[in-house]
Amino acid sequence: MSQRIKFYLLFFLLNGLAYLHIYLVEYPNPFIVLGVIMPIPLLSAWISWKVSRFSRAHTPCQSGDRELKFELCPHNIDFNKPLIYMWQIYDLNGEVVGRYIGKAKNGAKRPLKHYKRNVERLLSGKPYRKSKPEGFRRVHIALANAVESGHNIQLSFLVNIGDGQDINEVESSLIKANDCKGNLDWQLNG
């Protein structure tokens, strides 16, 4: 269980006990307390949790922040099936300064977890892998630069790969359609 969830459970429990003590003195009927008054701390804990989640997901990285934070764009994708994803980096004026399309044969774990780890390793001066210390790809370097510059980063899941489809062909066609491969700075596939 994460620290944040533990905090909110403890917050709810302590608030609930305080409310219970106060209202049992005023209202000796426990059904009024449990049915009407007790949901108040639960509601306040839920609202503060939602607000903190929303603000974390939609706040651009601040300069000096060493963690990859990104906005996950809405999608209708099955996370457990093979898929194609796209990273986009926007500067402070909203201009696209980086775009990368990749494939994930085993579902969304790779784009959701591995990029974060690789960017954090790059920013902290650690090697990509022991066997391949300089193995960071162009997209890792661009994402790390975006974190340091406070740029907005978005991750979009584009399409699931159906039975009979070749994931490499689908990826190649989407790279070409989105002009992600080339010599320009923002073309991170090339």
For 122-162, write each residue's pLDDT tens digit.
Answer: 999 999 988 988 899 999 999 999 999 999 999 999 999 99
Please say if the pLDDT value at position 116 is more than 80: yes
Which amino acid belongs to residue 154?
A: Q
Q: Which residue has tokens 């960071």?
A: 136
- DSSP class of residue 112 equals I
Q: Which two tokens stand for residue 39?
A: 């949901």
Q: Which pLDDT belongs to residue 4?
A: 54
pLDDT band of residue 58 (cuts 50, 70, 90) is very low
Q: Which residue has the higher pLDDT, 147 or 44?
A: 147
**Beta-sheet strand order (sheet of 83-90):** 71-72, 152-160, 83-90, 96-104
Q: Which two tokens stand for residue 145?
A: 């630069």
Q: Which pLDDT belongs to residue 74?
A: 83
Q: Which pLDDT belongs to residue 170?
A: 97
Q: Which pLDDT belongs to residue 56?
A: 39
Please say if the pLDDT value at position 32 is more than 70: no
Q: Which two tokens stand for residue 8?
A: 């909110």
Q: Which pLDDT belongs to residue 106?
A: 93
